C-alpha cells in the first residue's frame, strides 16, 4: 500500500518543490517503509533521488533535497506488492520518451503478463524490472507516443490515459509528471486506491496557487493545503505549469468502492478518505465489535472480562470505544517501542515475527491473574496475535480473549497489499474455535462484514458518495476483474520461486517470466543482482 504524491508550485521560478514533497513523505511513511523517492523538474530537466529504506535514510535527513531543484515533482513510498524488493524498483519510475515521463503508483495490476507481452511485441518498449508500475508507465508512454507529436497538449494526455485504463487492469492511484509541462493524477475506475487534491496560496508569488495531490489528506493538511477533494473513480486531473486543475472522466465509473482495509489498518486516523473519517470509522468499529461481543459472550461472559487491552498502534482508537461500550477498564498494557515501526508491511515472515516482540512488551502488573480482552484491527497471518497472546500469558493473564475489528480474512488481497496466498492466512479453512486454538487464545471474536461496512459508511464527515467497499479479502468477491487462472498462476510461481528475500509472492504478481529456482546452487535473484538506477542521485553517496 504505497504512498504517492505530486506537487506543482504556482511560482514556476521556485526551486523548492522537493522540500515540500520530502516533508509530505513523513506523513505518508506508514504506507510504505521499503523504499522512497522524489523526482522533480526544473527547466525541462528531470532530477531524481530514490532508493531502498525509509524517507529519512534515502534523503539523508534532508541533505539530498538541495540536489533536487524545481517547481514541480512527484514522490513515492514503497511497500512492495509486485515484482521484487530490489532498489531498481523503487519509485518514481522515469522514461525519457516521449517528453520525459515519471510516475508514482499505489496499487497492483492483475494482468501483468498480458501487458508485458503487449509492450514487448507490439509497443516494442524495453522493460527493465519486474515492477508492475514500470509496465503502467510504459503503457502511458506508448499511448502518448502514438500521437506522433513533438509536444503534447492536455487532450493528448487524457487520451493516452484511455489506453492505460483499457490495458491495465487492477487498482491504482497514480501521480505522474511530464517534464516541463505539468503534473497528473488519476485513479482506477472503482476508486479502490485513494488520491486527493488540495490547494494553497503561493508563498512566493502573489496571486498564484500551489496544488498538491497525495494518497491521504493528512499530508495535504500538514503542508497547509486546503479545499481538499477526492479524485473520483476513473477520473484524472492535470495541472499544467502556471495553470489550474483540469479534470476529465477518462472512463466510466464502475463503482465507488474504496478498499476497506484503508479504514481498518492502512490509513492514518487523522486522514479522511472519500469523505469518510478514518478515526470515526475506527471508533465505530469499536462500538460495533462491543455489540458483537455482547451477543457472543452474553452477560456472564462479558462480566468475566477484567480489562480491555489494545494491540498498539492501529487498534488503539477502536479498543478505547469498545471498553467504554462494555463499561470495562481500559489499559495500554502493551507498550509500543517508539523506535519500531509497522510489522505487517515488513518483507518476510522472520522479520515480521521478530518485529512483534521488539515492538510490543507487556506491563506485567496489568495482566497478572486477569481475564483480558485483546483488541486488534485485524488478524491476517496471525503473527501478531500468536505472539501477544503468548506474551500476555507469560505476564500472568489467566484467560485471553482476542477481538478483531474486521472479519476473518480468508482470501488474498490483490490490489496493493501483500496479503499472501490462502495458506498463509490464519483464518483460511478454519473455524473460529480452530483459529483460537492456533493462536492459543481462549476465544476469538470477529466483527461481522456488514457491521464493518456500516462502521465506515457511518463515518461520513458531511456527505460521502461511498456506500460500499472493496472487501474481496473477506468474501472473495473482488470489485475489479480477476483474469482467469490468476490465483493458480500466482500460487504456482510463489511455490517455484521459494526465494524469501525476493518475495516470491511478489514475483507471482509481476508476471515476470524468469522466476529464480532453488536447485541447491547459488542463484542470482533480483535481490542481489546489480541494479541499473537511471539518473539517480542516491547512487552518488
Ligand X SMILES: O=P(O)(O)OC[C@H]1O[C@H](OP(=O)(O)OP(=O)(O)O)[C@H](O)[C@@H]1O
Ligand Y SMILES: NC(=O)CC[C@H](N)C(=O)O
Least distance in angstroms from the C-beta of 312 to ligand X: 6
From the list ligand Y, ligand X, Mg ion, none, pick the one residue 416 interacts with, judged by a Cβ distance below 5 to 8 Å according to partner type.
ligand Y
Least distance in angstroms from the C-beta of 360 to Mg ion: 9
By the rule CB under 6 A, 85 interacts with ligand Y: no
In the bound state with ligand X, the residue whose beta carbon lies nearer, of 331 and 385, is: 385
C-beta atoms surrounding 271 within 10 Å: 25
Q: Which of 24, 48, 86, 106 binds ligand Y (CB under 6 A)?
A: 106
- How far apart are alpha carbons 339 and 456 in whole angstroms? 30
- Rounded to the nearest angstrom, the gap between the alpha carbon of residue 48 and the centroid of all alpha carbons in its chain is 22
The stretch among 106-114, 302-310, 322-330, 486-494 that binds ligand Y (CB under 6 A) is: 106-114
- How far apart are alpha carbons 194 and 232 in whole angstroms? 9
515484482: which residue's cell? 83
| Residue 293 φ/ψ, nearest 5 degrees | -65, -40
Q: Which of 60, 357, 22 is nearest to 212 (CA)?
A: 22
Is 12 labelled a binding residue?
no
In the bound state with ligand X, the residue whose beta carbon lies nearer, of 88 and 314, is: 314
Contact at 8 Å (CB) between 95 and 160? no
* H-assigned helices in 103-230: 112-117, 132-145, 154-167, 217-222
By the rule CB under 6 A, 39 interacts with ligand Y: no
From the list Mg ion, ligand X, ligand Y, none, pick the one residue 79 interacts with, judged by a Cβ distance below 5 to 8 Å according to partner type.
ligand Y
Q: Is 435 helix (H, G, I), strand (E, B) or coil?
A: helix
- How far apart are alpha carbons 491 and 162 in whole angstroms? 31
- How far apart are alpha carbons 456 and 69 in whole angstroms? 41
From residue 258, how far is each of 58, 206, 304, 305, 418 by CA, in Å? 30, 37, 38, 35, 17
From the list Mg ion, ligand Y, ligand X, none, pick the one residue 82 interacts with, judged by a Cβ distance below 5 to 8 Å according to partner type.
ligand Y
The stretch among 143-151, 229-237, 381-389, 454-462 that binds ligand X (CB under 6 A) is: 381-389
- How far apart are alpha carbons 224 and 238 in whole angstroms? 21
- How far apart are alpha carbons 62 and 58 in whole angstroms? 9
By the rule CB under 6 A, 142 interacts with ligand X: no
The stretch among 101-109, 168-176, 326-334, 341-349 that binds ligand X (CB under 6 A) is: 341-349
By the rule CB under 6 A, 267 interacts with ligand Y: no
By the rule CB under 6 A, 48 interacts with ligand Y: no
Q: Which of 83, 182, 472, 480 binds ligand Y (CB under 6 A)?
A: 83
From the list ligand X, ligand Y, Mg ion, none, pick the one residue 198 interacts with, judged by a Cβ distance below 5 to 8 Å according to partner type.
none
Enclosing H/E stretch for 316: helix 316-326
The stretch among 38-46, 223-231, 312-320, 516-524 that binds Mg ion (CB under 5 A) is: 312-320
Least distance in angstroms from the C-beta of 160 to ligand X: 37
- How far apart are alpha carbons 102 and 299 in whole angstroms? 58
- How far apart are alpha carbons 248 and 232 in whole angstroms? 10
By the rule CB under 6 A, 143 interacts with ligand X: no
Sign of the CA dihedral running 108, 109, 110, 116: negative
In the bound state with ligand X, the residue whose beta carbon lies nearer, of 20 and 377, is: 377
> In the annotation, is 2 catalytic?
yes
Is 314 labelled a binding residue?
yes
In the bound state with Mg ion, the residue whose beta carbon lies nearer, of 314 and 331, is: 314
Contact at 8 Å (CB) between 322 and 297? no
- How far apart are alpha carbons 187 and 108 in whole angstroms? 12
Site map (CB under 6 A) of ligand X, residues 265-294, x = contact: x-----------------------------
Half-sphere exposure of 444 (CA within 13 A, CB side): 29
- How far apart are alpha carbons 88 and 538 in whole angstroms? 11
- How far apart are alpha carbons 220 and 224 in whole angstroms? 6
By the rule CB under 6 A, 382 interacts with ligand X: yes
Q: Which of 77, 105, 137, 512 binds ligand Y (CB under 6 A)?
A: 105
Q: Pick out residues in 509-528 that bind ligand X (CB under 6 A).
A: none
Least distance in angstroms from the C-beta of 106 to ligand Y: 4
What is the C-alpha radius of gyration for the chain, rounded to an integer number of angstroms?
23
Q: Pick out residues in 107-166 that bind ligand Y (CB under 6 A).
A: 107-108, 131-133
Least distance in angstroms from the C-beta of 235 to ligand X: 30
Q: What is the DSSP code string of 389-406?
A: HHHHHHTT-SEEEEEESS
The stretch among 74-82, 101-109, 309-317, 353-361 that binds Mg ion (CB under 5 A) is: 309-317
Site map (CB under 6 A) of ligand Y, residues 415-454, x = contact: -x--------------------------------------
Task: Please tell me which residue in 2, 5, 41, 405 is annotated as part of the active site.
Answer: 2
Q: Which of 379, 401, 460, 507 binds ligand X (CB under 6 A)?
A: 379
Is 343 labelled a binding residue?
no
Half-sphere exposure of 287 (CA within 13 A, CB side): 11
Grid coordinates given for 34 = 521499503
> Which residues are part of a known binding site for Mg(2+)?
314, 376-377
> Which residues are part of a known binding site?
314, 376-377
For the annotated catalytic residues, the residue numbers are 2
**What residues make contact with ligand Y under the rule CB under 6 A?**
1-2, 78-83, 89, 105-108, 131-133, 416
**What residues make contact with ligand X under the rule CB under 6 A?**
265, 311-314, 342-345, 376-385
**What residues make contact with Mg ion under the rule CB under 5 A?**
314
Amino acid at each position: 500500500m504505497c504512498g504517492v504524491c505530486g506537487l506543482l508550485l504556482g511560482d514556476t521560478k521556485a526551486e523548492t518543490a522537493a522540500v515540500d514533497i520530502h516533508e509530505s513523505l513523513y506523513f505518508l511513511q506508514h504506507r510504505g517503509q521499503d523504499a522512497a523517492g522524489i523526482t522533480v523538474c526544473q527547466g525541462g530537466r528531470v532530477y531524481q533521488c530514490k532508493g531502498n529504506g525509509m524517507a529519512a535514510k534515502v534523503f539523508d535527513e534532508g541533505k539530498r533535497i538541495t540536489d533536487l531543484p524545481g517547481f514541480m515533482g512527484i514522490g513515492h513510498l514503497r511497500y512492495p506488492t509486485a515484482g521484487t524488493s530490489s532498489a531498481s524498483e523503487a519509485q518514481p519510475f522515469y522514461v525519457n520518451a516521449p517528453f520525459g515521463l515519471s510516475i508514482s503508483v499505489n496499487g497492483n495490476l492483475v494482468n501483468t503478463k498480458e501487458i508485458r507481452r503487449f509492450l514487448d511485441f507490439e509497443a516494442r518498449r524495453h522493460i527493465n524490472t519486474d515492477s508492475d508500475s514500470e509496465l503502467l508507465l510504459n503503457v502511458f508512454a506508448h499511448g502518448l507516443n502514438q500521437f506522433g507529436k513533438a509536444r503534447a497538449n492536455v487532450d493528448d494526455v487524457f487520451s493516452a490515459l484511455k489506453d492505460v485504463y483499457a490495458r491495465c487492469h487492477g487498482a491504482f492511484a497514480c501521480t505522474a509528471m511530464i517534464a516541463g509541462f505539468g503534473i497528473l493524477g488519476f485513479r482506477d475506475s472503482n476508486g479502490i486506491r485513494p488520491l486527493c487534491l488540495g490547494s494553497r496560496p503561493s508563498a512566493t508569488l502573489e496571486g498564484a496557487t500551489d496544488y498538491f495531490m497525495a494518497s491521504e489528506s493528512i499530508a495535504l493538511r500538514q503542508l497547509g493545503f486546503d479545499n481538499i477533494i477526492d479524485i473520483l473513480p476513473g477520473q484524472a486531473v492535470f495541472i499544467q505549469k502556471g495553470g489550474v486543475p483540469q479534470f476529465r472522466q477518462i472512463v466510466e465509473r464502475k463503482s465507488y468502492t474504496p478498499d476497506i482495509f484503508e479504514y481498518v489498518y492502512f490509513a492514518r486516523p487523522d486522514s479522511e478518505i472519500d469523505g469518510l473519517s478514518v478515526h470515526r470509522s475506527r471508533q465505530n468499529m469499536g462500538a460495533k465489535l462491543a455489540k458483537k461481543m455482547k451477543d457472543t459472550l452474553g452477560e456472564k461472559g462479558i462480566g468475566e472480562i477484567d480489562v480491555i487491552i489494545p494491540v498498539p498502534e492501529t487498534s488503539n482508537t477502536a479498543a478505547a470505544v469498545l471498553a467504554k461500550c462494555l463499561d470495562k477498564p481500559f489499559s495500554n498494557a502493551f507498550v509500543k517501542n517508539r523506535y519500531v515501526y509497522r510489522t505487517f508491511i515488513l518483507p518476510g515472515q522472520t522479520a515480521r515475527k521478530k518485529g512483534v516482540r521488539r515492538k510490543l512488551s507487556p506491563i506485567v502488573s496489568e495482566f497478572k491473574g486477569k481475564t483480558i480482552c485483546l483488541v486488534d484491527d485485524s488478524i491476517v497471518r496471525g503473527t501478531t496475535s500468536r505472539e501477544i497472546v503468548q506474551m500476555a500469558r507469560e505476564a500472568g493473564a489467566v484467560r485471553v480473549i482476542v477481538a478483531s475489528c474486521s472479519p476473518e480474512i480468508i482470501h488474498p488481497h490483490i490490489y496493493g497489499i501483500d496479503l499472501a496466498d490462502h495458506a498463509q492466512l490464519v483464518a483460511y479453512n478454519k473455524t473460529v474455535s480452530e483459529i483460537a486454538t492456533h493462536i492459543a487464545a481462549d476465544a476469538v471474536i470477529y466483527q461481522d462484514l456488514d457491521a464493518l461496512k456500516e462502521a465506515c459508511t457511518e463515518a461520513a464527515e458531511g456527505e460521502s458518495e461511498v456506500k460500499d467497499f472493496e472487501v474481496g479479502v473477506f468474501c472473495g468477491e473482488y470489485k475489479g476483474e480477476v483474469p482467469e487462472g490468476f490465483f493458480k498462476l500466482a500460487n504456482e510461481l510463489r511455490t517455484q520461486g521459494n526465494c524469501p528475500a525476493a518475495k516470491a509472492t511478489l514475483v507471482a504478481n509481476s508476471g515476470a517470466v524468469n522466476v529464480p529456482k532453488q536447485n541447491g546452487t547459488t542463484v542470482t535473484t533480483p535481490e542481489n543482482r546489480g541494479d541499473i538506477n537511471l539518473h539517480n542521485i542516491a547512487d552518488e553517496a
